[in-house]
Amino acid sequence: MDQIDVFTDGFVRLDSAMADDLSVVNAARVSFGTRKEAMDERDDGLIGFLMRERHGTPFEHNAYRFHVRCPIFVMREWIRHRVGSFNELSGRYAKIDDSFYIPSVEDVRTQVGKPGSYTFETVAPDVADRTRSAMEESYSASYAAYEAMLADGVAREVARSVLPVGIMTEFFWTLNARSLMNFLSLRNQEHAQREIRRYAEAVEALFETRMPITHRHFVEHGRKAP
């Protein structure tokens, strides 16, 4: 499992990884001039100790490279973390596909409460239907304007400005396990926006496949990055 689909046209794909639990163990044990070739029970305990005591640097000697397709508004939340390296699809050089995020009926929600203590509740079915229809109409009009500008010879870097943040984009994201756990601690939790959380859930599932012992201790010790 190297790709997990998210929503209708999004995905998280683990493009490459130089990462395993042994990388954590050997990064820690180099302090004592030792190196292991395989994990044993003591090494499981060592990873737990490092996680519990938040000795974080041994978790940095590995790398994940993800390929992500998501709405622009999700990517804008994602990049705020400033961990890892990003390269995004450029609307200057490529025509952007007419693929947009339309929430499911149950994902159309209303915001209840004051800043800092919001809760979200589903709306009535007719409101959800109107919302989804309005989004589709807006997307269609915006993309038609974009294509008309391109047909008139307007540069892509100018024409793209008419497109909404609900359009899909793609990017590559490379980072180590420590930074990845920091991202997951913030974005795969109940207060994160629902859309980016769905992506964070996919990222976490792929992280677990490569570093299951590290992931288990991450969860057992309160989902805090070391």
C-alpha dist (Å) from residue 211 to 18, 51, 53 = 11, 13, 19
Which residues, at least 6 apart from 35, have a Cβ–Cβ distance to it below 8 Å? 26, 29
Decide if 223 is catalytic.
Answer: no
DSSP labels, 133-152: HHHHHHHHHHHHHHHHHHHT
Active-site residue, from 187, 197, 198, 210: 187
CA–CA distance, 176 with 178 (Å, rounded to integer): 6
Structural tokens at position 107: 């994902």
Task: List the catalytic residues.
Answer: 187
